[in-house]
Structure 1
Amino acid sequence: MSGGASGLGFATARRLHEAGARVAVLDRDAEAVARVLREWPDILALTCDVAREDALAEALTKVYERQGRARIAVACAGVAGARRLVSREGPMPMTDFLQILHDNLFSSFNLLRLVASDMSTLKPLGRDGERGVAIMTSSIAAFDGQIGQIAYAAAKGAVAAMTLPAARELAQFGVRVLALAPGLFDTPLLDNLPSETRAALAQAMPFPRRLGDPDEFADLVLHCIGNVALNGEVIRLDGALRLPAR
């Protein structure tokens, strides 16, 4: 799984490990990868920018050699980014926009295309002949993008938009594709916010009136893996939150 060394990805990697899966974590944060290895020596954790074609292909070769070929792929790699389309400094630089796409969209697409290609050649399993499942991470910003989130919303919206056509294309191989769209979760992305701001965000949640727990995201990932009828869907996990304009 990508982005598995922190936040939602870390919680999901831990839950998969507890469930008995042979887990491989890919993350570009070398220090976070080292922490994963200290905690779980039997997990394969590699430092890798999954948006880079050559880097991910090389990492997946190591994963398949060590942990076996993947039937489950979870794409959690991504970063938040806020910048207005037009500010006092002028229009948003294209480099800023492309960097957000690189981190949040290209990383998901690159993992999806490579693992789906390999999954399509695996032996089918069970009564339905399933070969594998890929679960990507979108965001409620894909639907409720706020002021300053134009690049992030575009990236997460593209992840959501890829889900159905990918599921339709890969259905012939018995490979499912899903995307989860989390709302406000208690992850390192929010660690730098003042406590008052975190409390205000929690109060904005209709119910439950708190930030999401990363384990709840991991629970949904495991349910998606086990429920073969789920396919081609973008699932919001947000406590009924709808983001305001700002």
Structure 2
Amino acid sequence: MQMQDKTFLITGAASGLGAATAERLVAGGAQVVLCDLSDKVEALASRLGDTALACRGDVTSGDDMQVVVDKAVAAGGENSGLHGVVHCAGVVGVAKLLDREGNPADLEAYARTVQINLVGTFNVMRLAAAAMVRNSPQGGDGERGVIITTASIAAFDGQVGQAAYSASKAGVVGMTLPLARELSRHGIRVMTIAPGVFETPMMSELPEDAVAALSAAVPFPKRLGKPHEFAMLAEQIIANPMLNGEVIRLDGGIRMQ
């Protein structure tokens, strides 16, 4: 799919991976609708210019996301229609099943992580796909849209304390192939990126020694990933029609201990 004059919805767009993706897609000639709960999303849209529109929205809310998707469909004017989604919204949940005194983990905290990371992803995908099927087929393949979700290497290499986070991201991985198969008859592709350790606001919450240890654990390049490198892969997925139904690890070769 060509990005020029196409409309893309980016969730979790106020910072980190989402913001970098928004910048790259705008540079490629796309119209972007930026969805986030943070008020920083308006500032980013203003900086990106007339081809960026900011929308506040909770990815777990059907009503919120229907409004956002409707705005995305209308955003392109004559080229109206939602052509792609890069879903980056998510949270990190860290808690052991049992604490040091043997007390069980908080069930509501676990459910919140799964609700945002997994149910929120499904919510965005179902509404975006319903909009994309109304698009006219494009090109020789008849493509109508592309959906890119964000998992994590924790889906495969979850560490102690990551039960909720790993489970939620493994669920995103598990949806990728069946939804790609389902949507193939509509000309809609589904892909997932599983980032490793990246320079994001989530990572900034960790102590410096922990960040240094994670950087040293990456085989090559021996550093944290840059948000623009995630955006590069998102752009390549959009452009390459043979990328479908797959999860791509973007991690410098790291395997978490």
Aligned to 1:34: 42
Q: In the alignment, residue 153 of structure 2 is paired with which amino acid?
A: I
Q: SS at the partner of 2:11?
A: coil
Q: Which amino acid aligns with 1:62?
A: K
Distance 2:201 2:83 in 1: 28
Aligned partner of 1:237 in structure 2 is 250
1:3-42 equivalent positions in 2, closer than 5 A: 3-30=12-39, 32-42=40-50
- More displaced, 62-71 or 52-61? 62-71
Q: Deviations over 1:114-170 (max 9, x none)?
A: 111111221111111111100000000000011100000010000000000000000
Q: How far did 1:241 drift?
A: 0.4
Whether the aligned pair in 1 keeps the contact of 2:31 and 2:75 (CA below 8 Å) is: no
Q: Scaled by the length of structure 1, what TM-score is found?
A: 0.95
Partner Cα distance (1:168, 1:192) in 2? 38
What is residue 64 of structure 1 aligned with on the other side?
73
On the 8 A contact 2:189/2:244 being kept in 1, the answer is: yes
TM-score scaled by structure 2? 0.91
How far is 1:192 from its partner?
2.6
Query: Quick one: distance in 2 between partners of 1:237 and 1:133?
Result: 19
Q: What code does the residue aligned with 2:112 have? A: Q
1:50 paired to 2:59: yes
Deviation at 1:23, TM superposition (A): 0.4
Partners of 1:114 and 1:203 in 2: CA distance: 40
The letter for the 2-side match of 1:40 is L
Matches within 5 A, 1:1-246: 1-30=10-39, 32-42=40-50, 43-67=52-76, 68-87=80-99, 88=101, 90-244=103-257
Q: How many residues align?
A: 243
Name the CA shift for 1:202/1:55 in 2 (closer, same or farther; >3 Å): same
Q: Take 1:126 and 1:177, find their aligned partners in 2: how far apart are those partners?
A: 18
CA distance in 1, matches of 2:222, 2:49: 37
Distance 2:214 2:229 in 1: 18
Aligned residue for 1:218, secondary structure, equals helix
| Structure 1 moving runs of 4+ over 4 Å | none
- Unpaired segments ≥5 residues, structure 1: none
The worse-fitting range, judged by mean Cα deviation, of 170-179 and 191-200 is 191-200
Q: Give the partner amino acid of 1:52.
A: S
Q: CA deviation at 1:38?
A: 3.3
CA displacement at 1:89 relative to structure 2: 6.5
Residue aligned with 2:63, SS? helix
Look up the SS of the partner of 1:112 in the other structure.
helix
2: distance between equivalents of 1:222 and 1:38?
A: 22
Aligned-residue CA RMSD (Å) = 1.2
The letter for the 1-side match of 2:25 is L
Deviations 1:193-232 (A, max 9, x none): 3333222211110111000011110000000001101100
Q: Deviations over 1:76-133 (max 9, x none)?
A: 0001110111213621222111100122111211111111111122111111111110
SS at match of 2:31: coil
